[in-house]
Structure formats: structure tokens, C-alpha cells
């Protein structure tokens, strides 16, 4: 591991990285715009310039070189000495930041980026408080460049991160720089809008408020938002995300750095696909059919009712007619609790791996980012728990076929999919089930067959862990309170199994996970990606 000296302090760093990366990882706050660890280096923002000690070309004497070097472009070398905290570097930073603001409209009060804007932060920390330009500013135009993105060119610092992202990661190259000098603009080609499947990332990448998401436009000031660590349920890759939310609910989803899965990026379906949790036809009241009529039932009555009804059927045939369908939208904890409940009723009960939605094929982008075809987060986790539970197991199709033959009398069916997933043949097959419990986000064809209908909570309203398609277990936290009238699935299953021995009545994912880990060691230490260095962006 090379050791370098930054501002007089020795720092040990990974080999092959740039001085800027090493300094950021060691906690230095070095202003930078164009550098991004996931993109190629262009060294054009000229903010991370540093002084470096070099041997004098004639005398060979080692001293500070007269030139300033871009830290992003200089690889670390054992024994090198650099400094950022020097009058020359500070003066260069201040001068460059002054240049950045020359033609900037200073419209922070109406800018969505305000509060998380690197131009604001750097100008305050490293820049000058006032501008010395008294002439008219250039007004570069505002543009609508794609279905999700607006470009406010007047705020742009021309770091070209977005251009490089579209070239190098998305591979579609929609964005280009046009014109020269201070009239240079980012633009799309006529008739070819920014519309790739990763386009939302350019908004995160933009260090200033030039690229804005139409989805988040004027929605919230960012300082009113709280960021919660979560995992995207949009596909089976297990992309880690931040859910930005407040008491009014979820406002946006951003990628959370994850070196083992999604790196810095997030697909659009994960970024924009969470809106189903806001749909107003979400179920919000548990109901029980009594004499053919839906009646509301209280949440705290429900476990007892289900235990009684399932128990009666299960004891009659030792569980041969009892089945639970575990949805791959469930967390591992929830699946484990439900499996425990069903196995507790009768050893012969059947556990079914729920419906796995698949769309198309896996799509791999540059540098290995993958959008998975499997549009559910936890198939592997469900399979692991079913395999661990032993006994009778079925795939979803086999279960539907068996149900059509009338093998099941009591079924606990968990859904939770963002889209309608019950087809007519499912309805037909399940028509003969005596006790059908449907636990889902939305109403479906099964409503007329169900004996009990339980509203589910969305991923943002739950906590737990998902096992992604590569077997990586990653926890996610609860961002918001469940919809009014809804109890989180984990809490409900926890009550259904009567809690864990020696614990109180509240479901806590970590505690359940610890109990699971006694049987399933892979859940002992779920993977939480390291947070990015505080000043990296």
C-alpha cells in the first residue's frame, strides 16, 4: 500500500487510485466537479489543483514544483508529497470558483439543488463572497432534454459528467457539448432526447442544479428531507438506494453507493418505479368475509382468527390441504415468520415459492451495471427459507395446477407486487379453496374468493432484508409509517407466530434476523455497503 504525504500528514492509500480519491477517502474536503470515481478522468474543472514536490529539472533538488497539478489526474506514488492547504492552491480555488459564478444566475431560491449543491458549498467554503463582474451575464438557455430531465444550462459548470455517463455507462451517448467558450452548452441531438434506461443518474451526477428531475421539480427543499437506507425492490439485483422522505411521505429515490451491486448508479425503473406506493386504490383495511359479506376486522383480532381457522383445517388432514405462498416481494424475515407459522400448524403443510415476475432478459451496461429481468427483490431469499423449512414445497405454477385439482383447502397467499398479477386461470384454480387469505397491496380478481383480505405495506413502510440474485443479503430500513389502516407485514406475521421467545411484542427486523441466523448462518451478517467519503459526490 503506497504511503503519500498530504498537507504534511502521512496517508496510507490503495494502490492505483488518484491523489484526489486518496485525499477524499482520508477525509480531506477537496473541491471537485468533473472527477467522479465511476467515470473517466477529464481534469477539466481545474478545482482539485494541488502543489506537488518534484525534483528540480536541473539541480535535482526536491521542492514544490512551480506548476499546480490536478489531483484527479495524478496517480498516487509511494513517498510523494502534495499539499492542498497552501496559499497558492487556496488562491487558485477561489479564483476558479469566482469564474464559475460569473455567468451563473444565482437563482438558488428557486433551484431544486439548493442545499445539496456543490457550487453553493464550495463558493461558501473556498470562494469569494462577492463577484467582481459588473457586466451583463450570459444567459444560456433552459432546455427540456428528455422525458425525465430538464437542463438549466445557465447553471451548468460544464463538468461533462452527464456526457461521460451517457457515453461510458449507459452507452447511448445522447448528450454532447455544443458551441465553444462560455457559450458552450450541453445538448441532445435534434429528435433524440435523453431517454435511456439509466437517465435519472445524470441528475444525481450533476454537481449543480443544471440537470433537474421533472419528477422532483419544485417538490421539496432538500433540507426538509431525511435519507433512509433501503434496497430497491424493482428487480432482483439488490440495488441499494436512499429513500428521501419526510412526514409527507417519500419524495425521491436515489442510488446508494454499493461496490458489490449497483456502484453509484440506479436504473430508472427503480428510481421512478416506486410511485405505486402512492396509489389511492391501495388496500387499507383488513376484511373478513362472514356469510358472504365483507366485514372489517380489527388488526389485533386477526391473528387469533387466522390461527383458529387454519388450525381447524390443518388438524383435520395433518396439513395436507394447507399451503402458504411466499411472495418474492416479502423480506426474508417476513417469509421466515410466515413459514414458521405454517409449519407450526402442521408439518405436512406446503410452502410455495410465489409468482416471480420476469420481463425480458438481463441487460448489462458498461462497467457491469445490470438491470435484471426478474422484477422482484427476494426470490433467492424465499427459496432459501423454503429449502430450509423442508417438507412439501411447490413452485407457483405447480401450486396453481394442484389447487385446480382441489388439493388445498386453506391457502395463505402473499402478493405485494406493484402490478396486477392475478390472472383468470389463477382465479379459476383457487375457486375451490375453502379458506383463502390474500395479503396484498391492491385489490384483485381474488377478492371475490378470499375469506380474509389483509392490506400489505410497501417496501418503504417495512424493514427487513432481501437476498439478491447473487445471494447477497442486504438489509433495508423503514422510511415512512405505513399507510393509515395498514400494519407492517413483519409486525403482523410476528403477531401471527406469537412473537419470539423472550422478546416483546414489537417486530424488529434485526432481532428476527438474529433468531434466523441461528438456523441460517448467511443472515448473521447482512452486507451494508460502506458510506462514501463525506466529501465525495
Partner 1 sequence: MPYERVLMRNVGVPNSTSLATYQASGGYAGAARALQMKPEELVELVKKANLRGRGGAGFPAGVKWSFLPPDRKVTYLCVNADESEPPTFSNRVLMEHDPHMLLEGVLIAGYATRTNVAYIYMRGEFTELFHIMQRAVDEAYAAGYFGRNILGSGYDLECYIHRGAGAYVCGEETGLIESLEGKRGWPRIKPPFPAVQGVFGQPTVVNNVETLACLPHILTRGLDWWLSLGTENSKGTKMYCISGPVNRPGCYEAPLGLSCRELIYSPEFGGGMRDGKKVKAVFPGGISMGVLRGDVFPRAADGSVDPSRDYDELDCRLDFDDVRRYDLLGLGTAAAVVVPEDADIRDVLVNVARFFAEESCGQCTQCREGTSWMYKIARRIRAGAGRPEDLDLLVEVTGNMGMMPGLSICGLPDGAAWPIRTLVQKFRAEFERHLAAQEPDAAARLIRQTNPAAWELPIWAGRRRPPTAGTMPELHRAGR
The region of 10-18, 96-104, 336-344, 449-457 touching partner 1 under the rule CB under 8 A is 96-104
Write out the binding residues for partner 1, residues 493-512 only, by CB under 8 A. Answer: none
Q: Coil, strand, or helix at residue 244?
A: strand
Contact string 252-271 vs partner 1 (x = CB under 8 A): --------------------
| Min separation Cβ 259 and partner 1, Å | 26
- Phi/psi of residue 471, nearest 5 degrees: 85, 15
CB under 8 Å to 477, separation ≥6 — which residues? 228, 229, 230, 463
The region of 43-51, 207-215, 474-482, 509-517 touching partner 1 under the rule CB under 8 A is 43-51
| Min separation Cβ 165 and partner 1, Å | 17
Of the pair 31, 328, the CB lying nearest partner 1 is at 31
Using the Cα atoms of residue 208, residue 213, residue 214 and residue 219 in order, give the sign of their dihedral. negative
Q: How many CA atoms lie within 13 A of 234 on its CB side?
A: 22
Compute how many residues bind partner 1; rule: CB under 8 A. 43
For position 63 contacting partner 1 by CB under 8 A, the verdict is no
Of the pair 61, 135, the CB lying nearest partner 1 is at 135
Among 17, 26, 29, 44, binds partner 1 (CB under 8 A): 44
Cell of 436: 383463502
Of the pair 131, 348, the CB lying nearest partner 1 is at 131
For position 181 contacting partner 1 by CB under 8 A, the verdict is yes
For position 424 contacting partner 1 by CB under 8 A, the verdict is no
User: H/E element holding 163?
Assistant: helix 161-168
For position 124 contacting partner 1 by CB under 8 A, the verdict is yes
Instruction: Answer whether 328's CB lies under 8 Å from 379's CB.
Output: yes
What count of other Cβ atoms lies within 10 Å of the Cβ of residue 518?
A: 9
For position 176 contacting partner 1 by CB under 8 A, the verdict is yes
| Min separation Cβ 24 and partner 1, Å | 19
Q: How far is CA 133 from the centre of its chain?
A: 42
Of the pair 56, 359, the CB lying nearest partner 1 is at 56
The region of 65-73, 245-253, 324-332, 428-436 touching partner 1 under the rule CB under 8 A is 65-73
| Min separation Cβ 56 and partner 1, Å | 14
Of the pair 45, 211, the CB lying nearest partner 1 is at 45
Looking at residue 246, the DSSP 8-state letter turns out to be: E
Provide the Cα torsion 199, 533, 186, 143; round to 10°: 60
Write out the binding residues for partner 1, residues 68-87 only, by CB under 8 A. Answer: 68, 70, 73
Report the first-to-last Cα separation within the chain, whole angstroms: 25
Among 15, 177, 192, 528, binds partner 1 (CB under 8 A): 177
Instruction: Answer whether 2's CB lies under 8 Å from 82's CB.
Output: no
CB under 8 Å to 20, separation ≥6 — which residues? 30, 32, 35, 48, 70, 71, 72, 74
The region of 97-105, 218-226, 397-405, 524-532 touching partner 1 under the rule CB under 8 A is 97-105
Q: Where are the beta strands (DSSP E) in 281-337?
A: 287-290, 293-296, 322-326
The region of 88-96, 268-276, 310-318, 425-433 touching partner 1 under the rule CB under 8 A is 88-96
- Phi/psi of residue 93, nearest 5 degrees: -65, -45
Instruction: Answer whether 273's CB lies under 8 Å from 241's CB.
Output: no
For position 49 contacting partner 1 by CB under 8 A, the verdict is yes
Of the pair 60, 181, the CB lying nearest partner 1 is at 181
Among 61, 132, 191, 308, binds partner 1 (CB under 8 A): 132
CB under 8 Å to 433, separation ≥6 — which residues? 403, 408, 409, 410, 411, 449
Write out the binding residues for partner 1, residues 195-224 only, by CB under 8 A. Answer: none
For position 56 contacting partner 1 by CB under 8 A, the verdict is no
Q: Coil, strand, or helix at residue 123?
A: helix
The residue count for the chain: 537
What count of other Cβ atoms lies within 10 Å of the Cβ of residue 324?
A: 26
The region of 94-102, 309-317, 446-454, 502-510 touching partner 1 under the rule CB under 8 A is 94-102
Contact string 134-163 vs partner 1 (x = CB under 8 A): xxxxx------------------xx-----
For position 103 contacting partner 1 by CB under 8 A, the verdict is yes
Q: How far apart are CA 142 and CA 155, in angstroms?
A: 9
Cell of 327: 411472495
The residues binding partner 1 (CB under 8 A) are 41-47, 49, 66-68, 70, 73, 92, 95-96, 98-100, 102-103, 106, 124, 129-138, 157-158, 176-177, 179-184
Amino acid at each position: 500500500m503506497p504511503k503519500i504525504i498530504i498537507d504534511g500528514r502521512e496517508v496510507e492509500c490503495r494502490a492505483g487510485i488518484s491523489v484526489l480519491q486518496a485525499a477524499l477517502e482520508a477525509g480531506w474536503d477537496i473541491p471537485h466537479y468533473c472527477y467522479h470515481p465511476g467515470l473517466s478522468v477529464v481534469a477539466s474543472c481545474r478545482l482539485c489543483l494541488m502543489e506537488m514536490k518534484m525534483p528540480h529539472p536541473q539541480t535535482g533538488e526536491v521542492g514544490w514544483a512551480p506548476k499546480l497539478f490536478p489531483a484527479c489526474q495524478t496517480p498516487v506514488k509511494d513517498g510523494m508529497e502534495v499539499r492542498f492547504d497552501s496559499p497558492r492552491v487556496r488562491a487558485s480555488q477561489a479564483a476558479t470558483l469566482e469564474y464559475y459564478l460569473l455567468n451563473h444566475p444565482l437563482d438558488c431560491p428557486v433551484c431544486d439543488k439548493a442545499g445539496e449543491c456543490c457550487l453553493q458549498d464550495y463558493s461558501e467554503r473556498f470562494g469569494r463572497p462577492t463577484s467582481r463582474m459588473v457586466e451583463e451575464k450570459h444567459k444560456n438557455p433552459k432546455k427540456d432534454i428528455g422525458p425525465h430531465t430538464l437542463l438549466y444550462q445557465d447553471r451548468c459548470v460544464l463538468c461533462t459528467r452527464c456526457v461521460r455517463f451517457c457515453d461510458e455507462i449507459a452507452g447511448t451517448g445522447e448528450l454532447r457539448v455544443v458551441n465553444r467558450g462560455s457559450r458552450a452548452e450541453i445538448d441532445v441531438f435534434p429528435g433524440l432526447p435523453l431517454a435511456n434506461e439509466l437517465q435519472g443518474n445524470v441528475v444525481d451526477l450533476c454537481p449543480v442544479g443544471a440537470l433537474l428531475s421533472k419528477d422532483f421539480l419544485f417538490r421539496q427543499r432538500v433540507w426538509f428531507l431525511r435519507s433512509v437506507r433501503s434496497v430497491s425492490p424493482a428487480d432482483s439485483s439488490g440495488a441499494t438506494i436512499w429513500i428521501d422522505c419526510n412526514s409527507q411521505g417519500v419524495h425521491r429515490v436515489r442510488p446508494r453507493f454499493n461496490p458489490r451491486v449497483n456502484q453509484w448508479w440506479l436504473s430508472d425503473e427503480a428510481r421512478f418505479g416506486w410511485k405505486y406506493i402512492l396509489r389511492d386504490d391501495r388496500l387499507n383495511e383488513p376484511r373478513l368475509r362472514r356469510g358472504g359479506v365483507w366485514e372489517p376486522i380489527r388488526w389485533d383480532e386477526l391473528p387469533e382468527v387466522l390461527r383458529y381457522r387454519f388450525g381447524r383445517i390443518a388438524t383435520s388432514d395433518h396439513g395436507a390441504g394447507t399451503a402458504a405462498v411466499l411472495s418474492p416481494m416479502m423480506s426474508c424475515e417476513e417469509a421466515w415468520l410466515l413459514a414458521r407459522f405454517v409449519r407450526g400448524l402442521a408439518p405436512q403443510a406446503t410452502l410455495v415459492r410465489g409468482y416471480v415476475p420476469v420481463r425480458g432478459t438481463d441487460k448489462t451496461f458498461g462497467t457491469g451495471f445490470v438491470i435484471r429481468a426478474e422484477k422482484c427483490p427476494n426470490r433467492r431469499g424465499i427459496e432459501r427459507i423454503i429449502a430450509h423449512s423442508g417438507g412439501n414445497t411447490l413452485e407457483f405454477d405447480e401450486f396453481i395446477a394442484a389447487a385446480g385439482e382441489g388439493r388445498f383447502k386453506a391457502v395463505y397467499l402473499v402478493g405485494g407486487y406493484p402490478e396486477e398479477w392475478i390472472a383468470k386461470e389463477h382465479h379459476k384454480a383457487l375457486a375451490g379453496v375453502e379458506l383463502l387469505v390474500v395479503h396484498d397491496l391492491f385489490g384483485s380478481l381474488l377478492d371475490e374468493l378470499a375469506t380474509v383480505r389483509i392490506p400489505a405495506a410497501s417496501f418503504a413502510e417495512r424493514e427487513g432484508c432481501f437476498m439478491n440474485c447473487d445471494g447477497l443479503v442486504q438489509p433495508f430500513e423503514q422510511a415512512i409509517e405505513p399507510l393509515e389502516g395498514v400494519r407492517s407485514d413483519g409486525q403482523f406475521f410476528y403477531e401471527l407466530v406469537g412473537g419470539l421467545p423472550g422478546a416483546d411484542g414489537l417486530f424488529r427486523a434485526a432481532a428476527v434476523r438474529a433468531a434466523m441466523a441461528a438456523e441460517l448462518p448467511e443472515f448473521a451478517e447482512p452486507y451494508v455497503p460502506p458510506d462514501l467519503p463525506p466529501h465525495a459526490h
